[in-house]
Amino acid sequence: MDVAQKENLDMNGKDVIQKYPKEQRYTLAILQDIQRKYRYIPRESLEALAEYLETPVSRLYGMATFYKALSLTPKGENIITVCDGTACHVAGSMVVLDELEKILGIKPGGTTEDLKFSINTVNCIGCCAIAPVMMINDKYYGNLTPKMIKEILGEYRGEK
């Protein structure tokens, strides 16, 4: 077996899938666990889950595309979420987003080639008092300015 075949087998998520009973009610939880393992839901995993649950791949694809938290494309190790709610927008969230796009070379919904960062936008993070706000993974950054972005990203790149 060559490396590509081995990687394909490893992307089927069977180790995750088989932790659950063969019941439709666990579908979303299984998809979430597969995504947690791979940072997205590989096609091979959808096919393996469809076979396991005896359901069409199209049904699983529909779920994976319906829920914004699920992704069929690889996501970065660090998920950047920029708030564009009213308070953040007025305080300059789009200027912050522009700086992120310039530094990382990606737009919202995109992932850097090295799979280090992904950018998303949301309507509200719930931290209006410190607008504009972004999160990286589970850490909040408020009162942002474009100058702060390079330094913050440096923390995640291992720069001092």
Q: Is 127 labeled as ligand-binding?
A: no
Distance CA 71, CA 68 (A): 7
Distance CA 34, CA 144 (A): 34
Helix, strand, coil percentages for the chain (3-state, nearest 5): 50, 10, 40
Element (H, E) at 1: none
Structure tokens given for 123: 């309507």
Buried/exposed 19-45: b ≥16 CB within 10 Å, e otherwise: ebeeeeebbeebbebbbebbbbbbebb
Q: How many CB atoms lie within 10 A of CB 76?
A: 21
Q: Which residues are annotated as a binding site for [2Fe-2S] cluster?
A: 83, 88, 124, 128
Annotated binding site: 83, 88, 124, 128
